[in-house]
Amino acid sequence: MKNIIFIAPPAAGKGTQSDLLVKKYGFTHISTGDLLRKEVAEQTELGREIEEKMQKGILISNEIVSALLKKRLSAKDSEAGYILDGYPRKYEQCKLLESIMQELDMQIDVVLYLDMDEKTAMHRALGRITCPKCGRGFNKYEEAMKPKNENLCDDCNVELTSRSDDNEESFKLRFNQYIEEVEPILNYYKELGILRVIDNSGTPDDTFAKIEEVI
Ligand code: AMP
């Protein structure tokens, strides 16, 4: 089984594509955003420290995110192959990841870059709604991703919620940060020969078909 990194603008659908890969191929989905949100939800000391930054879309320190990631990668289920979502987000994190990989005797096999423009990504971000019970993602603006009943999860019938950082101001900040940081990361993996660019402008099914061809 492969270890994959997903790189994409915020709200590009990494979560949706990861769910499809998990269901079909049994990958473990590891999202640094989820690891951090868990700390916030559990109101741990760390969670209280990072809550405000996360709401504003500000990046959390390398030290904190890398430590959480290393701990998560050490869990048994990562042996099944994993999808790393949200890390690396800046060039230094490529290097940090390389040392984590060495320490854990692991390797990244392929880096998938979901390519899309700001306007489309923003539209998706503002329409994104998630089930607080099962975590399934929907989108009120995307035909292919609307829930069957307005604002209710298809599986749990629970009311869907928006992420507090999916507002226009926070999205723009996150998108601009992403553009600044992503280029050196892409070059890094291109040089290693493991970068694959996926056109992400179609429906989630179109994107998934392209991903399957690559992996
Ligand atoms: P995401 O769910 O990937 O959109 O991440 C949500 C928020 O978590 C980001 O806006 C950052 O505040 C924080 N975050 C997630 N991954 C990282 C990372 N690799 N480095 C720094 N901060 C991160």
pLDDT the model gives residue 180 = 86
pLDDT digits (tens, 9 = 90+) for 128-186: 899 999 988 899 988 889 999 999 999 999 999 998 877 888 888 888 888 888 989 99
The reply to whether ligand 1 has any atom less than 6 angstroms from the CB of 60 is: yes
The reply to whether ligand 1 has any atom less than 6 angstroms from the CB of 89 is: yes
Cα distances (Å, whole numbers) of residue 102 to 66, 73, 96, 105, 131: 14, 12, 10, 5, 36
What is the β-pairing status of strands 128-130 and 82-85? Answer: unpaired
Q: Hey, whose CA ends up nearest to atom 6 of ligand 1?
A: 33
Least trusted range by pLDDT, from 47-56, 117-126, 178-187: 117-126
The reply to whether ligand 1 has any atom less than 6 angstroms from the CB of 32 is: yes
Residues contacting residue 19 through CB under 8 Å, at least 6 positions apart? 29, 136, 137
- Say how many Å lie between the CA of residue 32 and the centre of ligand 1: 6
The reply to whether ligand 1 has any atom less than 6 angstroms from the CB of 137 is: no
- Coil, helix or strand for 61? coil
pLDDT the model gives residue 107 = 96
Atom number, ligand 1, closest to the C-alpha of residue 15: 2
Q: Is the pLDDT reported for residue 112 higher than 90?
A: yes
What are the helix and strand counts (H, E) for the chain? 8, 7
Q: Hey, whose CA ends up nearest to atom 5 of ligand 1?
A: 33
Q: Is the pLDDT reported for residue 213 higher than 70?
A: yes
Which one-letter amino acid corresponds to residue 59? L
- Say how many Å lie between the CA of residue 60 and the centre of ligand 1: 7
pLDDT level of residue 27 (50, 70, 90 thresholds): very high
User: Which two structure tokens, joined as six digits, stand for 202?
Assistant: 């179609």
pLDDT the model gives residue 209 = 96
- Tell me the HSE value of 59 on the side-chain side, using a 13 A CA sphere: 19
Cα distances (Å, whole numbers) of residue 95 to 55, 71, 214: 27, 17, 25
- Say how many Å lie between the CA of residue 63 and the centre of ligand 1: 13
- Say how many Å lie between the CA of residue 86 and the centre of ligand 1: 6
pLDDT digits (tens, 9 = 90+) for 199-208: 888 888 999 9
- Say how many Å lie between the CA of residue 50 and the centre of ligand 1: 10
The reply to whether ligand 1 has any atom less than 6 angstroms from the CB of 204 is: no
Q: Hey, whose CA ends up nearest to atom 14 of ligand 1?
A: 33
User: Which two structure tokens, joined as six digits, stand for 191?
Assistant: 């040089």
The reply to whether ligand 1 has any atom less than 6 angstroms from the CB of 9 is: no
pLDDT the model gives residue 153 = 96
Q: Is the pLDDT reported for residue 1 higher than 70?
A: no
Q: Is the pLDDT reported for residue 10 higher than 80?
A: no
pLDDT digits (tens, 9 = 90+) for 54-107: 988 889 999 999 999 999 999 999 998 999 999 998 899 999 999 999 999 999
